[in-house]
Chain A
């Protein structure tokens, strides 16, 4: 372990025929993404206050909080608490309130909650207050989408610039499939979608692209090296050659995110779970989605200028697929 590597994921010179399963991979991925898009519309993402607006307060009471009494006190004070729940321990309370039409009303409501809480649970301390007004939440949402859209466009432009267009399209289609699945994951798990989650999705995009670039890089290199190999075999070869790296890097990022998911606290654990899911999806999609799309788009084009190898006609190569 200190001099020679003690373990490897897969032995050298594996010859997995990944492209044989390409229809399975593509169909499965499209199916999952379609379901995810459906989930996005119904029941939809659980938006956090960053994007929905509203008030979230976290309070710590000296003794176990009496939720029922608090609820009654709130309704007497005309506070319509969208959610009043204990979280973590019996002494910790989470209060969620809907956004008010004006900033002044938001502040008044917050002050009302504060005083009601003090009366009902003397000695309660408010540990955290987040208030996001309606106008701000709209802006945060637009800016989040803008960041996502521009990043995707820039990544596509860069890959286009560095590779052929088939690679760029393959990468971006795969990224879209990855992102939709991540959104589906967030809907299913009920993890709140807030600003930090936009950061998670962008990081997943960055990481997933990185993964695709490595495979594509090898494909491009092999295209120059093996002038006569059919694209399908060439892609299989490239994936196999980079398999240890793909699994290795996925593992390190996965290992780095795991403690965040387990101990990161409320703010970061949702982020980290999304990351873990995204890493897994991104790894699979590098092999099962990005490469098949490249094969579909590039089957005739990327190899067009190549002389037909002896004994193997291009027709025979495509007939097998």
Chain B
């Protein structure tokens, strides 16, 4: 254990030098072109920023699909001239159910329902329940796939919306089955972004049913929707969608040239433009409604046909609300509502305070440990201290290599690692001291000391390693950073305390050949 071949010595020194080089980028302001440049990033709690955990409303995705299935069922049965009653979506049972009017049509109705095309093969089953009840039941796998696609799509739209706000380098990632993590560095007031992300922004254009009487129940195919600027004013909107937001190619906020009011100008794609043109041509003198998330933005009277695929939404906009609406329309609608279930926002001032506090604690803890080792273990303690500095350096190097985020708990992890790292040196030193007392020669005592202490060091580090890997797997947010630094620290400690410190002790011994060890 005491013989270090030239190659091994060079390897050990090489690792230390490499570690030092990898640390360098953290202390220079600008990347040097042409060199690999990886640094430790500051976590949101140190840098200031906002962490949003958003949940996709899976229930609404299922409800929507069941509603459309119910529509399809209604369609095929009407077309085939078959009778039914109580046709409704039943989200609790994941199905659309209906009852036969005429039991003799049983087979015909079943056959008709089976002609409804599934979105994916095996999406639903057509079931024959007792008592003339039939149902279309959504299958869990198909539902999960639909949900998964909705999350993927939501991430894309969230990214587009966040990009529009000009936040630099947003991190948007999926978490679990139905969640999205949005991390925005340097944003201390995420209100606007939360508002942008919280809107489904499903825009549709409908005709109004001007025959409906105010206060009366809505006729079939019509619903009462509130105006956005006055929720008490309800208008009868036909359910049939004339043009939808997906048909837009562009949306821009602007001002009306005559009045100076804020408006949103839209451009439709070919299909949308044609439909919009046809609708306006056929309904001159009637009213239509632009509906956003079940609220009417505006309900103007059509004065003349509007060909050319352009439209304008006017309403009670100001510069900000017009811009936000344009952003939402450009980015597209979310497939399902998103809700913020967890938020952690730290302002930059507080982050700077935390960095200061963390750095102060790290520095003073480091000094205390170093002084302790010097006082209690003399020369070998100082060698352990050199190993400790290298240890800190290697930890920073590995964190840089991973481009890990350094959080406040991560700094605590660094500090605790330094406190625990010297344990290995203490074990070795105590052991060498014992072996010396037992009458061994210095060389022999060092040899035995290292050998015996190593098994203990390994055992104690493996247990700590296991505990922190678990913490990394099950922990969340800042705790992960803590577990990561400690786990890395355990690995670097094994190197610096048992390999590097040993190399230094052996080289010292070889150059001095002392009769007595300073233990």
Q: Which residues of A contact B (CB under 8 A)?
A: 1-9, 12-13, 58, 60, 102-104, 106-107, 111, 114, 125-133, 135-136, 140, 143-144, 146-147, 150-151, 154-155, 158-159, 162, 195-196, 198-199, 202-203, 205-207, 209-211, 213-214, 217-218, 221, 241-242, 244-245, 248-249, 251-260, 262-265, 267-268, 271-272, 275
Whether B483 and A209, one on each chain, are in contact in the complex, defined by CB atoms closer than 8 angstroms, is no
Q: B362: nearest residue on chain A (CB-CB)?
A: A259
Known: A12-B433, A162-B459, A268-B358; 17 extra A-B contacts, CB below 8 A, are A1-B378, A4-B518, A5-B378, A13-B437, A106-B340, A125-B349, A127-B347, A127-B349, A147-B470, A155-B467, A198-B471, A210-B463, A218-B456, A244-B430, A245-B430, A253-B416, A262-B361
- Report the minimal beta-carbon distance from B179 to chain A, rounded to whole angstroms: 9
- Report the minimal beta-carbon distance from A258 to chain B, rounded to whole angstroms: 7
- Report the minimal beta-carbon distance from B422 to chain A, rounded to whole angstroms: 5
B15 within 8 A of A: no
Whether B339 and A103, one on each chain, are in contact in the complex, defined by CB atoms closer than 8 angstroms, is yes
Measured CA separation A213–B189 after assembly (Å): 49
Q: Bits for B180-219, please: 1 = Cβ < 8 Å to A, else 0.
A: 0000000011010010001000000000000000000000
Whether A265 and B382, one on each chain, are in contact in the complex, defined by CB atoms closer than 8 angstroms, is no
Answer whether A198 and B479 are a contact pair too, CB < 8 Å, given A147-B470, A209-B463, A256-B365: yes
Q: Which residues on A sit within 8 Å (CB–CB) of B470?
A: 147, 150-151, 154, 202
Whether A206 and B463, one on each chain, are in contact in the complex, defined by CB atoms closer than 8 angstroms, is yes
Q: A140: nearest residue on chain B (CB-CB)?
A: B476
Whether A248 and B466, one on each chain, are in contact in the complex, defined by CB atoms closer than 8 angstroms, is no
Q: A147: nearest residue on chain B (CB-CB)?
A: B474
Measured CA separation A245–B460 after assembly (Å): 13
Whether A249 and B420, one on each chain, are in contact in the complex, defined by CB atoms closer than 8 angstroms, is yes
Q: Which residues of B contact A (CB under 8 A)?
A: 45, 53, 55, 188-189, 191, 194, 198, 339-347, 349-350, 353-354, 357-358, 360-362, 364-366, 368-369, 372-379, 381-382, 408-409, 412, 415-416, 418-420, 422-423, 426-427, 430, 433-434, 437, 452, 455-456, 459-464, 466-468, 470-471, 473-479, 482-483, 486, 518-519
Answer whether A125 and B378 are a contact pair too, CB < 8 Å, given A151-B470, A206-B467, A256-B416: no
Q: Which residues on B sit within 8 Å (CB–CB) of A103?
A: 55, 339-341
Whether B464 and A210, one on each chain, are in contact in the complex, defined by CB atoms closer than 8 angstroms, is yes
Whether B372 and A264, one on each chain, are in contact in the complex, defined by CB atoms closer than 8 angstroms, is no
Q: Which residues on B sit within 8 Å (CB–CB) of A264?
A: 357-358, 361, 412
Q: Which residues on A sit within 8 Å (CB–CB) of B188?
A: 126
Q: Which residues on A sit within 8 Å (CB–CB) of B475?
A: 143-144, 147, 195, 198-199
Q: Which of these, A111, A209, A257, contacts B467 with CB under 8 Å? A: A209
Whether B375 and A260, one on each chain, are in contact in the complex, defined by CB atoms closer than 8 angstroms, is no
- Report the minimal beta-carbon distance from A77 to chain B, rounded to whole angstroms: 17
Whether B381 and A114, one on each chain, are in contact in the complex, defined by CB atoms closer than 8 angstroms, is no
- Report the minimal beta-carbon distance from A178 to chain B, rounded to whole angstroms: 13
Whether B478 and A1, one on each chain, are in contact in the complex, defined by CB atoms closer than 8 angstroms, is no
Candidate in B194, B372, B409, B460 with the most chain A CB atoms within 10 angstroms: B460
Q: Which residues on A sit within 8 Å (CB–CB) of B471?
A: 147, 151, 198-199, 202
Q: Which residues on B sit within 8 Å (CB–CB) of A140?
A: 476
Candidate in A127, A133, A198 with the most chain B CB atoms within 10 angstroms: A127
A-B contact pairs, 15 of them (CB 8 A): A3-B378, A4-B518, A106-B340, A128-B347, A131-B344, A144-B475, A199-B471, A248-B376, A248-B430, A252-B419, A253-B423, A256-B366, A256-B416, A263-B357, A263-B361
Whether A268 and B361, one on each chain, are in contact in the complex, defined by CB atoms closer than 8 angstroms, is yes
- Report the minimal beta-carbon distance from B56 to chain A, rounded to whole angstroms: 12
10 smallest beta-carbon distances between A and B, as pairs: A256-B419, A147-B474, A206-B464, A210-B460, A133-B341, A103-B339, A206-B467, A255-B368, A253-B419, A131-B343
Whether A252 and B372, one on each chain, are in contact in the complex, defined by CB atoms closer than 8 angstroms, is yes
- Report the minimal beta-carbon distance from A36 to chain B, rounded to whole angstroms: 21
Q: Which residues on B sit within 8 Å (CB–CB) of A260?
A: 361, 365, 412, 415
- Report the minimal beta-carbon distance from A145 to chain B, rounded to whole angstroms: 9
Q: Which of these, A133, A209, A221, A245, contacts B464 with CB under 8 Å? A: A209
Measured CA separation A155–B462 after assembly (Å): 9
Q: Which residues on A sit within 8 Å (CB–CB) of B422?
A: 249, 252
Q: Which residues on B sit within 8 Å (CB–CB) of A218?
A: 456
Q: Which residues on B sit within 8 Å (CB–CB) of A3?
A: 378-379, 518
Whether B416 and A217, one on each chain, are in contact in the complex, defined by CB atoms closer than 8 angstroms, is no
Answer whether A104 and B376 are a contact pair too, CB < 8 Å, given A154-B466, A210-B463, A264-B412: no
Q: Which residues on B sit within 8 Å (CB–CB) of A155?
A: 463, 466-467
Answer whether A104 and B373 are a contact pair too, CB < 8 Å, given A209-B467, A210-B460: no
Measured CA separation A251–B422 after assembly (Å): 11
Measured CA separation A6–B376 after assembly (Å): 6
Whether B466 and A252, one on each chain, are in contact in the complex, defined by CB atoms closer than 8 angstroms, is no
Measured CA separation A203–B339 after assembly (Å): 34
Answer whether A196 and B459 are a contact pair too, CB < 8 Å, given A2-B378, A252-B419: no
Q: Which residues on B sit within 8 Å (CB–CB) of A8?
A: 376
Candidate in A135, A205, A206 with the most chain B CB atoms within 10 angstroms: A206
Whether B430 and A132, one on each chain, are in contact in the complex, defined by CB atoms closer than 8 angstroms, is no
Whether B466 and A272, one on each chain, are in contact in the complex, defined by CB atoms closer than 8 angstroms, is no
Q: Which residues on A sit within 8 Å (CB–CB) of B419?
A: 252-257
Measured CA separation A27–B23 after assembly (Å): 51
Q: Which residues on A sit within 8 Å (CB–CB) of B452?
A: 221
Candidate in A5, A9, A268 with the most chain B CB atoms within 10 angstroms: A5
- Report the minimal beta-carbon distance from A154 to chain B, rounded to whole angstroms: 5
